[in-house]
């Protein structure tokens, strides 16, 4: 599916025809549909008779194999936690949440080096349906240095007929050598009128969720479907009341909240909670510097009152510390200590005290 804000990019890709490079890197904020674009391009490349608009026909043998999830020349490289169950057709998650395997072991949120080694072995033989093979890596930043270097070898000496499609919301976390081996396609936030038209209708996500995602329509839709609206209301209520409350007490309440059925059902965990607080602090810093509220427009009065109580240095330091915490939020060694740490830092920033 090509979303309206990506239609022009799609036409440019189709127009490349045989001049398509062996490796493309799609970068931009999460929730734009980068993976959908990569999937559509992969489908076109494998299709025996693409339609006039560039899309795969959906009827030929390669298309039928792909739609059933069994095309041997379509090789997705994704973290185990993001892999769709076999019963589901492969729509990309672009940052989906992890889950538990049948053994109860938490699935990995990283692309493992074994996956790249398996890919190397698969590419050492000829393609099954044709000489064309397509590898989709999403998210490309979910690789450690060893895994990335293994992929780099394939990008430097790609097998004949292979096209690599890398998807990333954090390209700075990629090795510079990987970025240099790919043709980069960057995507910005879509125009508000285009998003508004696309989201018109009864299934449109609430405005507060669209704002929270920075205007990213697909991210807002996913949040709405997961029931995140109620979670967001609680977050705003708790954080707005914190300056007069106890950060340590709230940390305990949030620890229980993250383990609740409501949070687990919505896939809401520590990374999302840290991200929401970081965006709250971003709005606070923006107002303090004379800007406007972006992520929490419905709470501009509360944020404005908080901004009057802090200074630029304090709120900037708080933001930087939250950015550090966010990098390890996926696997916190001690969730309670992490919550206490970030809430104490936030409380100091908005009260000017050293509680």
State the pLDDT confidence band at 105, using cuts at 50, 70 and 90: low
**Every domain range in the chain assigned CATH 1.20.272:** 227-351
- State what percent of residues in the chain have pLDDT above 90: 64
Spatial distance between the Cα atoms of 120 and 24, rounded to a whole number of angstroms: 18
| pLDDT at residue 130, as a whole number | 67
What is the tens place of the pLDDT at every residue in 266-307?
A: 989 999 999 999 999 999 999 988 899 999 999 999 999 999
> For residue 21, how far is the Cα from the chain centroid?
25
Work out the average pLDDT over 308-327: 89
Q: Which residue did the predictor score with more confidence, 265 or 333?
A: 265
Evaluate if residue 82 carries a pLDDT over 80: no
Work out the average pLDDT over 20-25: 95
Contacts of 26 (CB under 8 A, 6+ apart): 34, 37, 38, 165, 166, 167, 168, 185, 187
Work out the average pLDDT over 212-227: 91
- State what percent of residues in the chain have pLDDT above 70: 91
Q: Which of 29, 140, 119, 113 is nearest to 75 (CA)?
A: 119
Task: Write phi, then psi, for 290 (nearest 5 degrees).
Answer: 90, 10
- Fold assignment, 4-81+107-188: Rossmann fold (3.40.50)
Evaluate if residue 97 carries a pLDDT over 80: no
When mean pLDDT is compared across 77-86, 149-158, 236-245, 286-295, the lowest value belongs to 77-86
| pLDDT at residue 35, as a whole number | 95
Work out the average pLDDT over 320-327: 89
Work out the average pLDDT over 326-349: 89
Token code pair at residue 68: 């059933």
| pLDDT at residue 143, as a whole number | 94
| pLDDT at residue 345, as a whole number | 93
| pLDDT at residue 326, as a whole number | 87
Q: CA-CA distances (angstroms) from residue 214 to 71, 108, 158, 280, 296?
A: 36, 28, 37, 12, 10
Spatial distance between the Cα atoms of 36 and 32, rounded to a whole number of angstroms: 9
| pLDDT at residue 28, as a whole number | 92
Architecture of domain 227-351: Up-down Bundle (1.20)
Residue by residue, DSSP assigns 317-342 as HHHHHHHHHHHTTTS-S-HHHHHHHH
Evaluate if residue 352 carries a pLDDT over 80: no
State the pLDDT confidence band at 327, using cuts at 50, 70 and 90: confident
What single DSSP character describes residue 85? P
Work out the mean pLDDT of the chain and round it to a whole number: 88
| pLDDT at residue 269, as a whole number | 93
State the pLDDT confidence band at 91, using cuts at 50, 70 and 90: very low
| pLDDT at residue 98, as a whole number | 41
Work out the average pLDDT over 133-153: 95
**Every domain range in the chain assigned CATH 3.40.50.300:** 4-81+107-188
Whole-model pTM?
Answer: 0.81
Task: Write phi, then psi, for 206 (nearest 5 degrees).
Answer: -60, 150
Helix, strand, coil share of the chain (percent; to 5): 55, 10, 40
Q: Which of 218, 223, 179 is nearest to 27 (CA)?
A: 179
Token code pair at residue 90: 């492969």
Spatial distance between the Cα atoms of 5 and 289, rounded to a whole number of angstroms: 31
What is the tens place of the pLDDT at every residue in 169-215?
A: 999 999 999 999 999 999 988 888 888 888 877 778 888 999 999 99
| pLDDT at residue 111, as a whole number | 94
| pLDDT at residue 94, as a whole number | 52
């Amino acid at each position: 599916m090509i979303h309206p804000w990506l239609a022009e990019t799609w036409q440019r890709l189709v127009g490349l025809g045989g001049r398509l490079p062996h490796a493309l890197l799609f970068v931009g904020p999460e929730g734009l549909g980068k993976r959908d674009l990569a999937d559509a391009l992969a489908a076109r490349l494998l299709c025996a008779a693409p339609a006039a608009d560039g899309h795969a026909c959906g009827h030929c043998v390669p298309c039928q194999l792909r739609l059933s999830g069994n095309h041997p020349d379509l090789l997705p490289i994704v973290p185990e936690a993001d892999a769709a169950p076999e019963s589901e057709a492969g729509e990309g998650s672009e940052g989906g949440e992890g889950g538990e395997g049948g053994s109860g072991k938490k699935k990995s949120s990283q692309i493992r080096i074994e996956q790249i080694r398996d890919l190397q072995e698969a590419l050492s033989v000829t393609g099954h349906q044709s000489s064309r093979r397509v590898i989709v890596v999403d998210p490309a930043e979910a690789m450690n240095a060893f895994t990335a270097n293994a992929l780099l070898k394939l990008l430097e000496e790609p097998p004949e007929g292979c096209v690599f499609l890398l998807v990333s919301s954090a390209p700075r976390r990629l090795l510079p050598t990987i970025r240099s081996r790919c043709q980069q396609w960057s995507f910005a936030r879509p125009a508000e009128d285009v998003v508004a038209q696309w989201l018109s209708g009864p299934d449109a996500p609430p405005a507060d969720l669209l704002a929270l995602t920075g205007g990213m329509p697909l991210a807002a839709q996913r949040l709405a479907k997961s029931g995140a609206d109620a979670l967001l209301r609680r977050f705003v209520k708790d954080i707005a009341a914190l300056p007069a409350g106890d950060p340590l007490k709230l940390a305990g309440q949030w620890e229980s909240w993250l383990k609740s059925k409501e949070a687990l059902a919505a896939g809401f965990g520590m990374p999302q909670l840290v991200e929401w607080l970081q965006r709250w602090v971003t709005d606070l810093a923006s107002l303090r510097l004379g800007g406007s509220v972006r992520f929490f427009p419905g709470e501009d009065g509360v944020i404005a009152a908080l901004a009057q109580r802090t200074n630029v240095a304090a709120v900037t330091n708080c933001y930087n510390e939250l950015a550090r915490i966010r990098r390890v939020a996926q696997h916190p060694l001690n969730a309670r200590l992490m919550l206490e740490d970030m809430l104490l830092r936030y409380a100091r920033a908005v009260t000017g005290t050293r509680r």
